Structure 1
């Protein structure tokens, strides 16, 4: 019941969908922006009918991804590395937060969130483009170029640096400790 008009949208494999068309459908428009935990519904069937699993999955996903970002920062800190992996991972996390949380809040209902599935994702992108012409927005263009360009340059930089490192530390220490900020000599081979 994604539109709140008592007409169900079936996304499960039990309703005849295949692996491509199966999806977790967003919460009903009748729910709006209200938090809809399982104990607020009169029955499990009502909770499933109104798209309760969508909120459960999306909110736990966003919480888990945020915790994983913190874990990346902690591991970088404990290993003596700089936190650039954490910073790079924040771009796709921001994109996921935009389509799963920020956009539905802006539209006033979780029913406008992106469905969790292959066909649902493509349908969301087509409808989003039709309603908002997002592909021509300069900030969207810059964001896409930044995410893809950043991942490309990170991969190129990492492969070049790690393929040319000169070990300045022992086997029991991180190679990153071989570099001291402001040092004059190189820690990698330029030749």
Structure 2
């Protein structure tokens, strides 16, 4: 098909594999009697794959603009995306960063609290692992002691006393963040880009006072002209300040 030229078949293959993985994982979860919330949590990577493999290429008008598979292609896609859409200044991307890094932080904190409050069921001469059964209903740690300490360490309402609400929070935080990122990619597919604060600060004489937004803009221009060298003239604001004489 004409619309699948230039990496299109590659992208559609990876897109299909992502959906097959999602369907197979959901089927195994149902056979293992895992709650339906696990199904909803798996929607986050599927939403992200849909955004970069399908919605973004459609919005840009060519499947060659979709994200290639592989490390090099992924990083190239990220750099070009920043150059063309200023994704770092998009609030949905910021929420995605907060979701991923916040989820990592919360998981590390939770793991630390759990391993520090395990309920020992064995003697000193036995391994602590011998006191637990896989899938047991009883908790293996004291959530009251763990989060009682955490509430005093941070503040009272930062802790949980209910295991279900705690684990729902741990799962929902990164999932919602990735959903927002996928939504941001989908909006930028139709060129609803990140905030533009270029040359927004001037002095009393009207001269521009460069901010970090202008530094990012310079970087974006450089990345864009290096990406499509034949499509862009080199921007004048990146050229040399002094004209180089060509006379002998």
Whether 1:111 and 2:64 are equivalent positions in the alignment is yes
1:157 aligns with 2:110: yes
Whether the 8 Å CA contact 2:19–2:46 is kept in 1: the answer is no
* Structure 1 counterpart of 2:21, from 45, 57, 65: 65
Normalized against structure 1, the TM-score is what?
0.53
Secondary structure of the residue that 2:33 maps to in structure 1? helix
Structure 1 runs of 4+ aligned residues shifted over 6 Å read none
What is the TM-score normalised by the length of structure 2? 0.43
Is this contact kept in 2: 1:115–1:121, CA < 8 A?
Answer: yes
What residue ranges of structure 1 are gaps of 5+ in the alignment? 1-29, 37-48, 180-185
Contact residue 164 and residue 189 of structure 1 kept, 8 A = yes
Q: What residue number does 1:124 align with?
A: 77
Paired residues, what number?
Answer: 136
* Partner Cα distance (2:28, 2:102) in 1: 21
Native 8 Å contact 1:104 1:110 kept in 2: yes
What's the Cα RMSD here? 3.6
1:178 aligns with 2:178: no
How far apart are the structure 2 equivalents of 1:150 and 1:65? 23
Q: In the TM superposition, what is the alpha-carbon distance from 1:131 to its structure 2 partner?
A: 1.1
Indicate the structure (1 or 2) with the bigger Cα radius of gyration: 2
- Alpha-carbon distance between aligned partners in 1 of 2:69 and 2:138, rounded to the nearest angstrom: 45
| Structure 2 unaligned residues grouped into runs of 5+ | 122-130, 150-248
Q: Using a 3 Å threshold, how does the CA distance of structure 1 residues 94 and 110 change in structure 2: closer, same or farther? A: same
Query: Residue 77 of structure 1 contacts residue 83 of structure 1 at CA under 8 Å; is this kept in 2?
Result: no
Q: Between the two structures, name the one with larger relative contact order (CA 8 Å, sep ≥ 6).
A: 2
> Which whole-Å deviations, capped at 9, do the CAs of 1:127-171 have from their partners, x for residues lacking one?
111111111101111111112211331233144325534379x85
How far is the alpha carbon of 1:71 from its aligned partner? 4.5
Per-residue Cα deviation, 1:83-129 (whole angstroms, up to 9, x for no partner): 46962x54344323321222122223322111112222222112111
- Residues 1:136 and 1:83: Cα distance change in structure 2 (over 3 Å): same
Distance in 1 between residues matched to 2:13 and 2:47, nearest whole Å = 17
- 2:126 is matched with none
Aligned to 2:53: 100
Partner of 2:92: 139
